[in-house]
Amino acid sequence: MLLLKNARIIPMADNGEREFTGDIAVEDGRIFKLGPNLEYHDAEVIDLTGCTVTPGFIDAHCHIGMFEDGMGFEGDDGNEMSATSTPELRAVDAINPFDRCFEEAARGGVTTCVTGPGSANVVGGQFAAVKTHGRCVEDMILRAPVAMKAAFGENPKRVYADRKSIFTRMQIASLLRKTLTKAAEYEKKVRLADGDPAKLPEKDLDMEAMLPVIRRELPLKVHAHRADDILTALRIAREYGIRLTLDHCTEGYLIPDLIKEGVEATGAGVIIGPLLSDRSKIELRNQSFEAPRILYENGIEFAMMTDHPVIPEQYLPVCASIAVKEGLPEYEALKSITSNAARIVGIFDRVGSLEPGKDADIAVFAGDPLDVRTRCIMTVINGKVVHDERRA
Amino acid sequence: MKNGKYRLHPFTVYTYETVDSTNAVARRSVELLGASADMCVHAAGSQTDGRGRRGRTWLDTEGAVMMSIVQKTRLPMEKLPILNLVAAAAVRNALMRLVPGAELSVKWPNDVVTSDRYEKVCGILSEAVSSDGDRYAVIGIGLNLNAAQMPQGLLQPATSIFLATGKRVPLTDAINGILLEYDRQYRLLAEDPEAFLSRFAESCISLGRHVKVISADGTRYGVGEKLSPNGQLMVRYEDGVTGLVYAADVSVRSGSTVDEKLAKRLLPKRSPRSNKGDNGRAALIVGSPDMPGAALMSVKACVKAGAGLTRALIPPAIAPAFGAVPEAMLVQDDARAEELIAWADAVCIGCGMGVSDRTAALLEKVLKSKKPCVIDADALNTLSKHPELYALLHENALITPHPGEMGRLTGRSAAEVANDLSATAAAFASVHNCCVLLKSASSVIASPDGLLRYNDSGTPALAKGGSGDVLAGLVTSMAAQGASVPDAAALGAYLLGTSAEKAMELLADRFASATDIIDIVAFGLGINK
């Protein structure tokens, strides 16, 4: 038993309790109990008087471990530009646990990253939710696959124009529809076969990977910056009855009413960012740190993302801080990198709040977690202290 | 416990001060709410209408926890009972982790018991409920947590975690710990059923032990061998046939198999200041002119096993042989039999006597005295020819038949007895109000109060003439030293077996003889150290 005592705790749970001072008991990798004055006979006690404790932060969209630090093409394993639709690709086969960015992320209080393929392909492959500590990807996986990547807009056009396979947004939508239609047909055959080997279709790895998308078990994780691309994604989601998350959603704040309507109709999640970067292309020209506040004011729940390596992973809370500077309430900013991020990604059953039964992923701060000067002095992942710089 | 609700991922826990039964609350929740009842847990500190298996009443004690888990499941109906195992493992593991000093085991399929005395601390009752074509398991857990005393007159020995360890556990700690461990064990079962079952087996007292299986087909005895992939108990019955037990009461009794721990506890204590008169007076009525050896071996074993004074009533013709046992005093006149019996603390009769009117007359005297006695060999064969003597048997009389002798006593074949050892021994002990040591590779010791014990010690080397005589001597010695007759029988059987095992270490199979084993008894007695 690990017992963190006397901290200011911000649990980010749904029960209305914003914060309290007390203890967290951790047992076998999970949170056992929260409350004042906890005592256990065999506990390792860590006194955190004066510290603030939050759930470990969650980055809802990034490419950590896949575009590796301090390398060029040798470490670039995020964009498989050999075909426009590659559902079978799995992030877990590219993640390098020895990328030092994982350690930097953990030292910054980021404990879960949703990482996966880039946006070159229309259907890019399977994202994974991983913890930021471990020596092999199997140790790090929280859930894999956690989403199927898809991309709209400039990136597929740019990459595939010289290969003469994509010239327009029409073709991107068409290629996505073709993949979804094929997957729906495949799913029907599998369903009708009802386990009878004689009736099952010949195994198709790409289509096997698409099955959970068609069955609404896995969201399509859609790269969409421009308002029209976002709406195309929502249109296709309605056509096929699939779940999706609107990632980047850069111009979403320009059409908040339409986003809200689309979210309510399809159950889509909104993940915004990376905001702390330049407007390097046309589809980013309306990028603004006011977006989080405007979405909040329109009653749209969202997560914030780094798109690491675009913004280094450990600066996820900095993005939340700047959003606060632009008028987003502090608690909403914290939600966007903890509970909302977990809920939108579909991992709130495991992480995103400090509640009994959840993974013991805990960030400890010497002061206000949203003050950019505050250090994360201790990080716990799966109940294990992986970073500790408390003064002796 | 107060009425309330909290999240314990992946569960939602509802707590109640009092309910009729948490399983009933759970069942109703499924019927009313369907899918939204999934993964909810209903916990109460008190129930007004608790139920155990087979409709038995669950008596909740002060400081108990009752909780019922609702879990939607795709397990087919016949595999549902495995969730009992998941819950039992969860309770055991969680409490061992939470409570310092708690040593707990699981008892197939649905109990958690203390590891030393097999006293029940937790019972589990699972049920299946259907709603909208989905199946839900309701897994009810009743745990004696902080009770300071247990109700009288329970069907099986029970205790609480507090009584067993002296530690009290907050109710929510127990609930959280059990549920988190349940979730862990359930996932282990889903991901790696073999690993789940092998871990369950490690802490399961029903395996490798003698069990009594009570089902609709009756009561059978056997040894719990292993768990099937569906979590059923595979039992090797005494007739050598194995069978899967699906749902039945399988009891493992405290100390059912005589092991070193139990033997140490049963061994009569000796005071360092004791004199020969304090250490028991044993009388052996044994031998005939044709069979001096049997008499000699039983007497020698009795002396070696520590009786303070040993006297033997023997025919004068074989007296010279007893030069080998100078410790034993000899009585060579049947007229002094009653005097000898009156003097003794325990009497043995039969080894090498032959079947005769003399044996019958002496047996009658021994039985009428009501002294603790061991009736062996020819005394048994004599008994089977004199049914009128059965009425003289008493609770301190021990018969020590092998299956052939038992067959003659009960009018059955040796094979029938060998295939049904426990039930035969238990029935004889109960009907004739005496103790029985039915000798076999796995010997059964039955007493009139229904207690069964087993001795599995020993080696095939014991399957020789003379082993039975040694055993009779050892049991008589233990009874003379103060052990109760059933305890003396257990000790004697255990000593013979372990001494034989020790002898086997020193001698090769073919050389070990019964007299060699007598010489090793001192090693076996090392359990006293």
Q: Distance (Å, rounded) from C-alpha B415 to C-alpha B419? A: 6
- The answer to whether the Cβ–Cβ distance between B100 and A42 falls below 8 Å is yes
Element (H, E) at B285: strand B281-285
Q: Distance (Å, rounded) from C-alpha B422 to C-alpha B443? A: 9
Element (H, E) at A193: helix A169-193
Mutation site, A27, A37, A42, A339, interface B, largest B CB count within 10 A: A27
Q: What is the pLDDT of residues B245-263, one digit of tens each?
A: 876 677 776 457 888 888 8
Output Rg (C-alpha) for chain B, integer angstroms.
Answer: 28
Q: Is A297 on the interface with B (CB under 8 A)?
A: no
Q: What is the pLDDT of residues B339-375, one digit of tens each?
A: 999 999 999 999 999 999 999 999 999 999 999 999 9
- The answer to whether the Cβ–Cβ distance between A42 and B6 falls below 8 Å is no
| CATH class name, domain B4-202 | alpha beta
Give the number of residues written for chain A: 392
The pLDDT of residue B175: 94
The pLDDT of residue B199: 94
Nearest CA in chain A to B39: A349
Residue B529 scores a pLDDT above 50: no
Residue A392 scores a pLDDT above 60: no
The pLDDT of residue B512: 55
Q: Distance (Å, rounded) from C-alpha B123 to C-alpha B143? A: 7
Q: Note whether ipTM > 0.85 here.
A: no
Identify all chain A residues contacting B175, using CB atoms and an 8 Å cutoff.
Answer: none
Mean pLDDT across the stretch A307-324?
97
Please choose, from the candidates B459, B461, B466, B458, the residue with its C-alpha nearest in 3D space to the C-alpha of residue B510.
B461
Distance between B184 CA and the closest CA of chain A, angstroms = 10
Q: At what angle do helices B467-480 and B485-506 cross, to 10 degrees?
A: 130
Residue B506 scores a pLDDT above 70: no
| CATH class name, domain A57-351 | alpha beta
Q: Distance (Å, rounded) from C-alpha B481 to C-alpha B279? A: 5
Q: What is the pLDDT of residues B367-387, one digit of tens each?
A: 999 999 999 999 999 999 999
What are the domain boundaries of chain B? 4-202, 210-251, 260-528
pTM assigned to the model: 0.76
Residue A121 scores a pLDDT above 90: yes
Strand extents, DSSP E, B380-517: 397-399, 435-438, 443-446, 452-455
Among the partner residues A13, A40, A357, nearest to B180 by beta-carbon distance: A357
Nearest CA in chain A to B93: A28
Q: How many CB atoms lie within 10 A of CB A329?
A: 12
Residue B146 scores a pLDDT above 60: yes
The pLDDT of residue B240: 83
Q: CA A102 from chain center: how many Å?
A: 15
- The answer to whether the Cβ–Cβ distance between B172 and A13 falls below 8 Å is no
Give the confidence band of B510 by pLDDT, cuts at 50, 70, 90: very low
Nearest CA in chain A to B174: A32
The pLDDT of residue B528: 42
The domain defined by B260-528 folds into: UDP-N-acetylmuramoyl-L-alanine:D-glutamate ligase (3.40.1190)
- Domain A1-55+353-392 matches domain A57-351 at the CATH topology level: no
Identify all chain A residues contacting B183, using CB atoms and an 8 Å cutoff.
Answer: 357
Q: What is the pLDDT of residues A209-267, one digit of tens each?
A: 999 999 999 999 999 999 999 999 999 999 999 999 999 999 999 999 999 999 999 99
Q: What is the pLDDT of residues A7-25, one digit of tens each?
A: 999 999 988 889 999 999 9
Quick one: how many helices (H) and strands (E) in chain A? 11, 16
Strand order in the sheet with B435-438: B329-331, B309-313, B281-285, B346-349, B373-375, B397-399, B435-438, B443-446, B452-455
- The answer to whether the Cβ–Cβ distance between A32 and B172 falls below 8 Å is no
Give the confidence band of A197 by pLDDT, cuts at 50, 70, 90: very high
- Domain B210-251 matches domain B260-528 at the CATH topology level: no
The pLDDT of residue B451: 82
Percent of all residues in chain B with a pLDDT value above 70, rounded to a whole number: 91
Q: What is the pLDDT of residues A129-155, one digit of tens each?
A: 999 999 999 999 999 999 999 999 999
Contact residues, A window 355-374, toward B, CB-based 8 Å cutoff: 355-358
CB neighbours of B43 closer than 8 A, spacing ≥ 6? B1, B13, B14, B15, B16, B22, B65, B66, B67, B68, B171, B175
On average, the pLDDT of chain B sits at 87
A1-55+353-392: CATH number: 2.30.40.10
Least confident of A166-175, B106-115, B476-485, B495-504: B495-504
- The answer to whether the Cβ–Cβ distance between B172 and A33 falls below 8 Å is yes
Residue B316 scores a pLDDT above 60: yes
3-state secondary structure of B196: helix
At which residue do the structure tokens 């007076």 appear? B281
The pLDDT of residue B116: 83
The pLDDT of residue B59: 54
On average, the pLDDT of chain A sits at 96
Residue B58 scores a pLDDT above 60: no
Please choose, from the candidates B228, B232, B234, B241, the residue with its C-alpha nearest in 3D space to the C-alpha of residue B211.
B234
The pLDDT of residue B508: 54
3-state secondary structure of B177: helix
The pLDDT of residue B239: 83
The domain defined by B210-251 folds into: SH3 type barrels. (2.30.30)
Among the partner residues B9, B97, B172, nearest to A357 by beta-carbon distance: B9
What are the domain boundaries of chain A? 1-55+353-392, 57-351
Q: CA B465 from chain center: how many Å?
A: 28
Residue B266 scores a pLDDT above 50: yes
